Chains A and B, each alone.
Chain A
């Protein structure tokens, strides 16, 4: 028989510290505490090693494995079922790419005819020289001279926005930037959040009224930058390669800098409370912050952030 010493419990959401019970009593308590709640809220939680169902009636999806004719969970998360397919979605994990996703990434390596891009996935993504826009017309054969000046387009450490084009056989993703919306990033700052907190939206290019552009990469990389007017956007008809692959920032005035850092802090605050980001939520938070703060610095304080989160989630 194994018994536990009980200690006074701290009341913190994530810390697990509570009074222990005798093993015989504990089984009943667990069932009551944990499972009843989930059923009522609609999503059931599970953790590795838990049997979900028998494999004869169901098919195993992601986050599960089959052993002894049973479908067993392999990650901690919510159980999802589509017809006969049972999957478990992990609460937090790295980015799982899908074709067509918009991602923000950082060049890690320049290789022959390709760049390696860190996109918060399980492997570095690949950006082929053939899937970027090159100076002098979009539909143009890639020449040897292009290959020699690859660092002129993207260099190690450069940030870019791209779309997932396809997958390689080992699961690595291939990106493309063959649109005027995609390409090198400048005039802003990067903030990294858990990918699950970025939902699929109608558009991942947001413009906030405070003169800040946002690119919400589905991989959890978010680019916060100075607003660029539609008609000034580089590469309209003539595709100005100089401007697209430029490494020099435009002039950014004081007000815009403040706005950028305010948006950054709001995003950090929301994600530290594990709240999914949407455009309306960000706007609401921005307005609340303007109204209540004495300076952008306030957003760094935990209690100010807690108040912000409490007020904007109350309305939902």
Chain B
């Protein structure tokens, strides 16, 4: 490649300026040109490139090799976590969120009980190592509280809280890794965790983030894209086709909004498929180990529902 040779010189220059220790090696490399040192030089050239990374290149690919409407890989783990009534680990690409649900149970504080329905308590914590720069967030951090409030208000209309008067449902969200789409991962993880706890809900809640790069919409943004592109997160209910949350922290042109919004809602359906398959697979494996001796369940005839 042409530019490869061109940057070799510039990178070597920078290297000598920046790092005195590297200097003898680089000098050596210019003399002998052996392989290990060229690798060193390429490292420099890639950092130079990173400053002007393309969100969407001419071939229609994004920085991580996805197409415009492609979602990241999803992984759902419903295995038991400690004494939680329901728990789930949800992974969107490099974003990973862990949710434990306790309840419905007696409220810890009497003042929090509501006489005709259950109180939902969401606590979010972000691991210090979850993002690129190590940063400890306190419990009272504004950003953390805001995310927790968003999760709470998303699930309040979906959970049938009136069935559990004077109780409390605790949702503990732990962010393990973050690479964009944090809120979407939290909401999706909470949905499956609530289901594994057997808490009655009127529907799934599926969240996806979307953004617009110049005129082309993108789905499921990584952190790199999120920082560069106006974006929004949409949480929708696939059965009723209702939207329980739309949030936007950046400015998005009003003409573009509808397009992204519709696309995100459509992507929600795809996520719903994944979540449903995971829940069914999990239920199936548990029903199987419980065996056929379950009272009542065995004799059900399958006809008559149509």
User: Which A residues are closer than 8 A to B by beta carbons?
Assistant: 1-7, 12-17, 20, 23, 26, 30, 34, 37-39, 41-45, 47-50, 52-53, 63, 65, 67, 72, 74-81, 89-94, 108, 116, 118, 121-124, 170-172, 192, 196-197, 199-200, 272-276, 316
Contact = CB atoms under 8 A, between A and B. Distances in A.
B296 interface: yes
B106 A94 contact: no
Given A2-B71, A276-B291, A49 B300 contact: no
B198 A76 contact: yes
Nearest to A71: B305
Contacts of A15: 75-79
Contact of B237 (A3, A49, A81): A49
Given A15-B77, A108-B106, A123-B166, A93 B287 contact: no
B276 interface: yes
B202 A72 contact: yes
Given A16-B78, A42-B298, A124-B106, A7 B286 contact: no
Contacts of A74: 160, 200-202
A75 B198 contact: yes
A108 B105 CA distance: 13
Given A77-B198, A91-B198, A92-B197, 9 more contacts: A4-B270, A6-B73, A23-B270, A39-B302, A74-B201, A92-B198, A93-B199, A122-B105, A316-B291
A91 B289 contact: no
A76 B165 contact: no
A34 B280 contact: yes
22 contacts: A2-B71, A2-B270, A6-B73, A15-B78, A16-B78, A23-B270, A34-B281, A39-B302, A41-B287, A43-B297, A43-B298, A43-B300, A48-B195, A65-B202, A74-B201, A74-B202, A81-B304, A89-B297, A108-B106, A199-B295, A272-B80, A276-B293
A15 B89 CA distance: 9
Nearest to A16: B278
A52 B304 CA distance: 11
Contact of B290 (A12, A26, A274): A274
Given A5-B66, A78-B297, A94 B283 contact: no
A121 B115 CA distance: 17
Interface residues of B, number: 77
A1 B195 contact: no
B198 A4 contact: no
Nearest to A171: B165
B289 A275 contact: yes
Interface string B234-245: 000111100000
Contacts of B204: 47-49
Interface of B: 66-67, 69-80, 83, 85-86, 103-106, 115, 160, 164-167, 195-204, 219, 237-240, 266-267, 270, 273-274, 276-302, 304-306
Contacts of B201: 48, 74-75
A121 B198 CA distance: 13
Given A5-B70, A42-B298, A47-B195, A122 B167 contact: yes
Nearest to B167: A122
B198 A14 contact: no
Most buried by A among B76, B80, B160, B286: B286
B67 to A, nearest CB: 7
A107 to B, nearest CB: 13
B113 to A, nearest CB: 9
A196 to B, nearest CB: 8
Given A14-B77, A92-B85, A93-B197, A276 B290 contact: yes
Contact of A72 (B239, B270, B277, B304): B239
A42 B299 contact: yes
Contacts of A276: 290-291, 293
Nearest to B93: A5
A219 B199 CA distance: 17
Nearest to B113: A123
B195 A7 contact: no
Contacts of A12: 77
A313 to B, nearest CB: 8
Contact of A3 (B69, B79, B200): B69
Contacts of A275: 289-291
B99 to A, nearest CB: 15
B202 A42 contact: no
Given A43-B297, A76-B196, A4 B202 contact: no
B93 to A, nearest CB: 9
A91 B277 contact: no
Contacts of A92: 85-86, 196-198, 286
A53 B302 CA distance: 12
Nearest to B191: A48
Contacts of B295: 199-200
Contact of A118 (B106, B276, B285): B106
A286 B172 CA distance: 37
Contact of A76 (B83, B105, B219, B279): B279
A212 B115 CA distance: 43
Contacts of A30: 273, 277
